[in-house]
Amino acid sequence: MLSLFSHPSGSTAPHGYSSHGGTHVPQNSAAMFEEDLLGQRARGFSLGHAAAGLMSTPQTFPFAGFPMHPAHDPMGFAGQNNQFGGFHMSPHDHKRMMPPSGRDQRDSKIKITLENRDLWQKFHSLGTEMIITKTGRRMFPTFKVTLEGLDPHAKYILLMDIVPLDDCRYKYHNSEWVVTGKAEPHMPGRLYIHPDSPASGAHWMKQPVPFHKLKLTNNNLDQNGHIILNSMHKYQPRIHVVQANDIFTMRWNSFNTYIFDETVFIAVTAYQNEQITQLKIDHNPFAKGFRDNGMGRRDHRLHLKRPLISLDSSHDGKDYEKEEAVRQSKIIKREHDDSGLGHSMTKQHNGSQSEHATSTTRDSDGESKQAASRGDELPSCQVAGKSRSGISPIMSGQKGRSPPLGRGSLGLSSQCQYLPQSASPYLQGASSPSCDQVYYPHHSATTAGNMAAMQMANTGLLQQTTVGSSLLNSASSALSLSHMGQQMGACQLAGQNSACALAQGSTSGSGAYGLPGSGNQGSLSSCTYMQSSQPYPSHLSMNLTSHFPNPMA
């Protein structure tokens, strides 16, 4: 297998972190966390040039057929909540996400609430767009949740990931989002571990938990652990609550996954809908470049490509601080309560399903099917007519909140027609055996349990990279994990800092270091470096490039 890491040898471990793989086990990660805590600029965890371990046999990968987009969302929720256009919100106030049913799972009593939901709704009603850049961009609004029902004394790890909502590629045409074709292959989904992890239930419950540090990037070669997305594609952020003392003993089958429909968004490199731009400027304190009216009072009309109102007064906006405050404390009721697809799903916990055995994670998929044909785990796309579909067609001025549409008559996403196999979104996860079901055992006991490899660092897609060292000093902690039915078998570390403190010493750049992992089912405790030769290794990967404020318990 070839090296998965593209960064130039030598520039990999600027801080002395080993750049060469081996079958190492986490060591001094705690110390590192502390250091990071104090540092202003988080350092990466990546240990660089790590090589594969258990993933020796490519065939173990469910994605065999889809080397390009083995990643994300296997789940069928893509079909359940694609009311993206924002014309209709979830009929029920699913602000409070609950497990689908009273399944006898350990955390069925967990209650998770999306904060600033009303703000999310505002964006959602217009068709949320999230900028993705080479260097990584934060999300706005910030994904922030309130937790309840956790065991105050137990330790939990909170993670987030973002999965494709459908298999379509979009374009913003004539003020609306329309499908332009099939989706591009997705990078393996990375997991962003909340920096406070692991922490007690009490800690997580004492106040809203923000995932503001999470960053999105369109750089497939990203070495900073940011979540890699494709521009012009629709995504669904998800939150996972896992009871575990540390990420290494975290059992993948104990994932409690939740999603919030209003957080769906389309990744873009540049804003398409200027109403979204304006909304961002209006609410994001950092988008000050245009807040002429300064902190709190701004004139929406200024700088608006097409002013909606007259320019007479600059005192029309409200204090964003106030709005923000309201947003955080108040929960605005949904206006339209179209009881369409009822419970638009929320909880998707990984059933106690079989952990797909100690499958070996393989990285040398070999298939460089860049643009080759891909599997159809995700609903296929079909460019719909311009009829009444399309996201945010409502260009109604200022507060134009689109009229509620039946849940069935979806917005943009409705244009995607799902293949028979994925027709039932709720079951898709379990029904598509070939892949992705890992994370979406929705009502089934299937699951995430079968994660196999953790690539701590390089996503394993950096093959022919030539990334400069500048890319190595980032910060967010993320796990790249392509929701497949593999089990956690190998841990791949890369980057500069070492979470696992594994790779240290060797500075060899692209050499492959396949190391057979110990195949700990359902546990991430064994981190093994791995490198694959294929540019887009389709398997679970964990990229833990950054800081963990709290030392591992």
Partner DNA sequence: GCAGTTTTCACCTATGTGATAACG
Partner DNA sequence: CACGTTATCACATAGGTGAAAACT
The only residue of 102, 104, 153, 289 in contact with DNA, by rule CB under 7 A? 289
For helices 117-126 and 274-283, what crossing angle results, to 10°?
160
Binding string, 180-209, against its own copies, x = CB under 8 A?
---------------xx--x---x--xxx-
Distance CA 97, CA 343 (A): 10
| Closer residue to its own copies (CB): 186 or 213 | 213
> DSSP assignment, residue 85?
T
Judged by beta carbon distances under 5 to 8 A according to partner kind, the member of DNA, its own copies, none in contact with residue 271 is: DNA
Question: Containing H/E element for 210?
Answer: strand 209-210
* For its own copies, the closer CB: 35 or 337: 35
Tokens found for residue 393: 């067609």
CA atoms 21, 514, 71, 147: torsion sign:
negative
Dihedral sign computed on CA atoms, order 88, 92, 93, 97: negative
156 near its own copies, judged by CB under 8 A: no
Report the alpha-carbon distance of residue 445 to residue 87 in Å, rounded. 33
User: Using the rule CB under 8 A, is 549 a contact of its own copies?
Assistant: yes
- If the CB atoms of residues 106 and 303 are measured against DNA, the closer one turns out to be 303
Map 467-498 to HEC letters.
CCHHHHCCCCCEEEECCCCCCEEEECCCCCCC
Least gap, CB of 228 to its own copies (angstroms): 21
Measured from the CB atom, is 291 or 362 closer to its own copies? 291
Instruction: Check binding of 386 to DNA (CB under 7 A).
Output: no
Helices within 370-477 (DSSP H only): 425-431
- Tell which one of 80, 218, 358, 521 touches DNA (CB under 7 A): 218
Residues 115-134 that bind DNA (CB under 7 A): 131, 133-134
Q: What is the DSSP secondary structure assignment for residue 540, as one 8-state letter?
A: B
Helices (H), 161-246: 201-205
User: Which residues touch 298 (CB under 8 Å, ≥6 apart)?
Assistant: 281, 282, 290, 291, 292, 317, 320
Quick note: the x/- pattern for its own copies over 252-291, rule CB under 8 A, is ---------------------------------xx-xxx-
Rounded CA-CA distance 493/25 in Å is 10
Complex with its own copies: residue 173 or 318, whichever CB lies closer = 318
Question: Considering beta carbons, is residue 148 or 292 the nearer one to its own copies?
Answer: 292
Give the pairing of strands 452-454 and 347-349.
unpaired
d(CA 543, CA 189) in angstroms, rounded, equals 10
Q: Which does 133 bind (CB under 5 to 8 A by kind): its own copies, DNA, none?
A: DNA
The region of 148-156, 171-179, 235-243, 331-339 touching DNA under the rule CB under 7 A is 171-179
Alpha-carbon gap, residue 491 to 488, rounded angstroms: 8
Q: Which of 109, 134, 173, 322 binds its own copies (CB under 8 A)?
A: 322
| Footprint of DNA (CB under 7 A) | 40-41, 131, 133-134, 137-138, 140, 170-173, 180, 213, 218-219, 231-232, 268-272, 277, 280-281, 284, 286-290, 303, 305
| Footprint of its own copies (CB under 8 A) | 34, 37-38, 40, 142, 195-196, 199, 203, 206-208, 210, 212-213, 285-286, 288-290, 292-297, 302-303, 311-315, 319-329, 549-550
